[in-house]
Structure 1
Amino acid sequence: MNKTSFLVLLFISILPAHLFSQQNKLIGKTAFNSQYPQFFHFRGEMKRDVHTDYDTWEKKYVASSGLLRKYICEELKIDTILYSWLNRFAETYPEKLLLLHFNGEARQVNDYPEINKKYFPGHWVYETGSLLSEDCTSSQTHIQVKAIDYFREKAYVYRNTSPRRWIPHYVLLVELDEQGNKLWYNSEIAHIKSIDSSTSTLILKRGKTNTQSRSFKAGKTYVAPIAGGIWGNDVMFYYNLSSACPKDKNGRTAANVLLNEIHHWFNPDNGILKKLDGIAFDVNYFDVSKHESWDTNNDGQADGGWINGQNIWQAGDLQFLKNLRKRMGQNFIITCDGQHPINQQAVGVLNGIESEGLVQHNDGWRGFSRTVNTHLYWDKFNPLSPQFRYVVLKLMDGNDQHHAERLRRFGVATASCLGAYTTVPDSYSFLPSWIQPCSFGRIQGELIRYAKSSPNLLSGTPAELLHKGILKGENCCMSIQGNSIIIKPATQSSTLSIKNVELPTGDITIFIEAETITPPDANSDLVPRFIYASLSNLPDYEPEKKTKEFFTDLYGLVGHEKNENSFYFRRPKVSAGKQTLTITIKGTEQLQIHSIKIYNRPDIIIRQFENAVVCVNPSLEEQEIHLSDFITEYSEKLKIAPIDAVFIPKSKNK
């Protein structure tokens, strides 16, 4: 026996029994046999037609590789009968991957008094508030504050109603000590009925959210709006997951309490979710700066999770995820939304990400490069095994829904080429009959980038471009190292520009290879930074501003090893001429750019599998390619319709 084998056996022998059983359990999962495509059932709590009895429920889900859905009442009221159904299903089909889908940012509290016992008032996020300006009794409904503008009658919105329905702020009234510290246990939650701005008066419903009405003193009481949102027809309060979250009398932060809850649910002996394989966080943000009114360190000033230039929200949340990984072990699956820069980027802690929509909720195809870059980064740099990344085939844009079959085919093909799985399409009818789950087989060979088969339009290395004065920078210093350039950002956002780039008509794909060279921060580990690219003189793609921006809001991920990102711009009817390429770099770490290349072709991706070749065309126009240029055994010309994909069985070409 060699030394390595001995150490492996020694490690296995000292594993806790429940982790060893988890490891064996994951090995047999269909999800980890590396065959594509794979389809997972996503959610389904509201589909009451399948909740009539266990047999009906089982029939709905048995054809897929696994199930990701809600089992905890965090934003929806879940029928507890599902626990027994879930355990029965897991025992009957041990090859299925079963994950809890869980809101990782907020919690319903009003109908759940037990939540008040677990989390104390300091565990929620508050917006900037105001001091009470007059004493109030426990029965008083009209209270005066010094600054009324922080409070809103339209605070939380029901997003799925038309017209939209709003409800006012919930507020916390909390006593202050002589030093101005919040006495969290001497507090009350109230709900605003209306606001009289002329007299700085809040008209309240007192003693709400399972709290008792109290009397409060003017100048010694802080009144703060509670940060929240509406899911499942009620307001949810945000956990304060920042590193500045207050601790309760037992010394626990909100993250500590949430960690204990999750561990309890998955306890292998008596946990209600003991048969599950892990957790898929619905949302769990790394950056909350879009919430400009949030006061995450409770000093009375809005900070959006950033204090003195430091992202204290990311620091606290990353530590929570690290602690969760440590508590649950390496053989517990943890994923989270990763389709936005503000979403999870905890590479090396999570097993992977969820893309809710191929690109994002309302975008099933437009910002194609974002999905390609994000999934390729996780595939290349995430050291955890097994990896589990998946795409929810969600099409929330009304126009996209009219092309659902084609766009879901496009989504299945893209995900498979990127080594990710998808959720179950509405039906398999849009797929050729021979394509069944896992029918492509395993991936063979690297991802083929069709655009690179054309000439590079940008003459010169980054060093040459800088030396000639063609490449310029803002909010940064640049220097030459070999053929590369070193960028030292002076602010959180620095910009490079290359002007007068002569481009022909037609689509453009840009490839940028870069890496971060500053030693990683102790808290960052493998967390990447973001790099954006844009071109001047792009067309107006769609009349709606939001969907128009989907085409151009393209970014890539850069870490502490070389990585290449692509930026694909569709340019229908754009004339040939001189354009400007703009590159925006986020973060203050030094960055090394090794190459910048521009090609006059769409970013078609091609991948070989054991049983098929899959080709994805993200262009707005039909594309004809010669497969023989990339794969010798294929001689025919291949035509791919716009925003579509083709699956070619290898058996037909033997």
Structure 2
Amino acid sequence: WKKEQPVHQGHIPDLQTNVIRFAPGNWDYIDQYLEENPKLLMLSTWRAASGLPKGTVLKEGTNYDPLERTEIEFPGHWVVGKSTTLSSNLNAASEEMRVSSWAALEKGPALIVATTARGDRDWDQFEYVRIKSITKDSNGEGATIAIERAYNGSPASRNFQAGNTHVASMPWDTRTKLDGRNWFINYATDCPRDKNGRTATDIMVEAIVGPLREGGGLENLGGIDLASGPLSRDIGIADYDGDGTEESSDIYWAGVADFYRRLREGLGPKRILTANMDWDYLHYINGANQEGLARPSDPWNEVSRTVNEMIIWKRLSPLPFATIAFVQYLTREEDLLYVQMHRLLNGYSACLGMAADMKNGDGLDELTRLELFQGVENKPHWLGKSLGEPKRPASLTPNLLGDGWDEIIQNMVPNRGKLVKEGDELVLKQDGRLVGFMTLNLYFDLKEKTDFVVYLDVMSSDNKEELVTREIMDPSVSVKYDTGPIRGRISNKEFAPVSFYVRGAQPGERVEFDLRFQEWDDVRFRSIAVHAAPDTLACEFENGIVLVNPSLNSETLDLTTIFPRRSGYTHLKAEEPAGMENINDKYLPQVKQALSINNGKDVKNPSKLEVFERNAVFLTANRVTATDRPATLTTAPRPPGTATTAPPPPATATTKPPAVTKCKDKNGQYKAHNNRKKKCNWLKVGNNRAKNCGTAKNKITPLGKACPETCKKFNHCS
């Protein structure tokens, strides 16, 4: 087991994630290995939101993610929809059932449960089935349902009596290769309990953190990585408490908060808990698995999402942070850029304090590790400490909106809002009907085809004590472009930089760029700027600098202006990798580029340093210590080493976790979460549950699936 662990020329990574739970026979080896390597942070990887029932047997050769296997075996621990009843007896051999109402059912997985004489669910008599078709009765109420029996880990098919047997559809997670088989775990605090009185949260928390307790076998493990299938899907109204009727998903999200709280209690303050970067749970989550760089299938296109999220999270979070980034999926065109895609990721990882992906092996994979170990010098953590947040060289170019608020305001038009200057800040205030979005339209000229970036220093303004976040919807641009901007988020707690990056915009006069804000509270700006330049990052460390260019074109940077106090720049030195003869010819341009960028030579003209398209450059420079040059922020990211990460949290948490939000008011009615106010309501449209997304024509989507893209444009539905 030890020989199989990743090591690069004697250096183990700083952070490692493993699917540990399926091989308890290895736990002794893992614990011993961690004792021998106390600086290694190893995380156990889990899927939290959904999965297969425990013990499900799949056909041999089925393509699926092993993380989809859960510890859930009690049928009441899955989220189900509103139930109907059998109108005729169902025998074990039948593949059709009659129901009193088809309205609550749809094609896909379903749960059949018998009831006791008192009308309670008899959880010992259940079966999972798959609804294949629905044939409505002529009276428009009942229906004949064609089903696949004993589906997806179900017990054997059985007899069920009419009248006192309930049938409910089950929403399923579409983030899987197994259609209809990944069901949502019911984290509501009042979900049905098994015969031992346990909720789904009880089961999951014990399975996840139990082995990390003293005597559990994994006492030296560094924490938990909730990677695949994060808790980010809003399921909508469903039967969360098992009474056959539907409730708001607010009680589900309250249960998710309780789940995170209990995980943090079980892990203690020193360990890491990674999840998606959900600001509702800042006091519990202290890590993120990016599942890629921008997202799993996108190593570069929407990377501004990662830049925005990482910078803002580090400002808001009271805990040190460990973040994982890696190149996961490449298109055919991106595969030809295999080495530079990893170098691009290494650059972003260094600038944002994320753990970079360390590939094992020689050949091309050896070239992906160059920057992490200073080339032939083979030094981990060679950059030293970060000296502040990334610099944005684009901001050195003219602001296309003008200089000063008086000039900038002339190139902006609010819609359903008005602009008011308050001291050095500009405030967008609601004005007019509360329909659609409060919008700020920016206008500027583009004289030629170019990248451009919009920078905001912005926060939401309200009087709420709790953290509240809101989205800036996907901006629209009035000219054609190669890749467009994506939505951003702001909070009510602190000003933060938010960027929107557009590659290859066509020239035009009075180009329009709209910023549409969710909710109606004031929006405060300390600055608004548009620059006709790529959103490059320039990041400074004690022993060198890192430059990242996300553009589809090469970019020339002036280091004397960006870093006026640094000098002595030298490229890293690389050599031909071992196994060069085994590298496919199609990758030889990547080998040549890697050796050219990392040629070991001094930078002769630092005022004109070229960074190739979708690429990064790492340079050594005259040493400046962090004490000599204090960082601009105490939360500045650390540079990567082999796969660097922030250290575990201190022994005492710096901020007391908040109590779990109470979901019911004094009358017992469920309240809306401040951070979970949904713009889309579930409707009934024909055979489907649907969301009305506020468009002229209602767009429908099956239960448990995300809204269509055309719908997302108007409201965040998924």
Shorter-chain TM-score category? 0.7 to 0.9
Once the two structures are superposed, residues 570-628 of structure 1 have per-residue CA deviations (whole angstroms, 9 ceiling, x without a partner) of 125x1131111211223465533333211222111111112221101111211111100
Match of 1:63 among 3, 12, 17: 12
Aligned residues: 553
TM-superposed CA distance for 1:535, in Å, is 4.5
Identify which of 191, 213, 220 aligns with 1:245. Answer: 191
- TM-score relative to the length of structure 2: 0.69
1:584 aligns with 516
* 1:465-476 alignment runs, 5 A limit: 470-474=412-416
**Does the 8 Å CA contact 1:288/1:313 hold for their aligned counterparts?**
no
1:162-207, Cα deviation, whole Å (9 max, x unpaired): xxxxxxx2x211245799x762625402333844636622334249
Q: How many angstroms apart in 2 are the aligned matches of 1:492 and 1:300? A: 35
User: Structure 1: how far apart are the matches of 2:252 and 2:521?
Assistant: 19
1:104 paired to 2:48: yes
Structure 1 residues without counterparts, runs of 5 or longer: 1-52, 73-77, 156-168, 542-547
- Cα offset for 1:85? 2.7
Contact 1:478/1:488 (CA < 8 Å) preserved in 2? Answer: no
Of 543, 553, 557 in structure 2, the residue corresponding to residue 621 of structure 1 is 553
Q: Equivalent of 2:325, from 382, 386, 391?
A: 391
Q: Equivalences for 1:133-212 in 2 at 5 Å?
A: 133-137=87-91, 140-148=94-102, 155=108, 169=109, 171-175=110-114, 183=121, 185=123, 187-192=125-130, 194-195=132-133, 197=135, 200-206=144-150, 209=153, 211=155
Q: Which residue of structure 2 lines up, in the alignment, with residue 121 of structure 1?
A: 75
- Provide the rounded CA distance (Å) in 1 between the counterparts of 2:436 and 2:266: 36
* Distance across 2 between alignment mates of 1:369 and 1:98: 28
Give 3-state SS (helix, strand or coil) of 2:182's partner. strand
> Is contact 2:77-2:200 (8 Å) kept?
yes
The match for 1:537 is: 478
- Residues 589-608 of structure 1 correspond to what in structure 2 (within 5 A)? 589-608=521-540
Question: Is 1:403 matched with 2:337?
Answer: yes
Q: 348, 366, 374: which is aligned to 1:428?
A: 366
Amino acid at match of 1:191: V
CA contact (8 A) 1:107 1:237 kept: yes
Cα distance change of structure 1 residues 101 and 538 upon mapping to structure 2, 3 Å threshold: farther
Letter in 2 for 1:188: F
Question: In 2 relative to 1, CA 137–461 (structure 1 residues): closer, same or farther, beyond 3 Å?
Answer: farther
Taking the aligned partners of 1:116 and 1:349, their CA distance within structure 2 comes to 22
SS of the residue corresponding to residue 497 of structure 2 reads: strand
Segment of structure 1 superposing worse, 431-440 or 115-124 = 115-124
Separation (CA, whole Å) in 2 of partners of 1:135 and 1:480: 71
Task: Give the secondary structure class of the aligned counterpart of 2:29.
Answer: helix
Residue in 1 aligned with 2:227?
282
Does the aligned pair in 1 maintain the 2:49–2:231 contact within 8 Å?
A: no
Give the structure 1 partner of residue 287 of structure 2.
Answer: 352
Seq. identity, %: 21
Question: Which residue is 1:15 aligned to?
Answer: none
Cα deviation for residue 568 of structure 1 reads: 1.5
1:646 corresponds to which of 607, 610, 617: 617
Aligned-partner residue type, residue 314 of structure 1:
W
Q: Which has the higher contact order (CA 8 A, sep 6+)?
A: 2
Match for residue 86 of structure 2? 132
Note if contact 2:230-2:275 (Cα within 8 Å) is conserved in structure 1. no
Distance (whole Å) between structure 2 residues aligned to residue 639 and residue 559 of structure 1: 39
SS of residue paired to 2:394: helix
C-alpha RMSD of matched pairs (Å): 3.6
* Distance (whole Å) between structure 2 residues aligned to residue 532 and residue 149 of structure 1: 34
SS of the aligned residue for 1:442 comes to coil
**Residue 65 (structure 1) shift:** 1.9
Change (3 A) 1:55 1:402: same
Q: 1:438 to 1:117 in 2, by over 3 A?
A: closer
Describe the SS at the equivalent of 1:571: strand
Quote the Cα distance in structure 1 between the aligned partners of 2:513 and 2:115: 54
Q: Is the 1:509–1:600 Cα contact (8 Å) retained in structure 2?
A: yes
Distance (Å, rounded) in 2 between the aligned partners of 1:419 and 1:561: 20
After TM superposition, the structure 1 = structure 2 runs for residues 558-577 of structure 1, keeping only pairs within 5 Å, are 558-572=491-505, 574-577=506-509
**Distance 1:535-1:191 versus aligned 2 partners, 3 A rule:** closer
Contact kept, 8 Å, 2:544 with 2:621, in 1: the verdict is: yes
Deviation larger for 451-460 or 490-499? 490-499
- The match for 1:452 is 395
Q: Work out whether residues 476 and 514 of structure 2, in 8 Å CA contact, stay in contact via their aligned partners in 1.
A: yes
Name the structure 2 match of 1:236. 182
Q: CA deviation at 1:297?
A: 5.8
AA of the residue aligned to 2:493: H
Q: 2:347 is aligned with what amino acid?
A: A
Q: Which amino acid aligns with 1:55?
A: K
Q: Which residue of 2 aligns with 1:216?
A: 160
| Secondary structure of residue in 1 paired with 2:204 | helix
What's the CA shift for 1:136?
Answer: 2.6
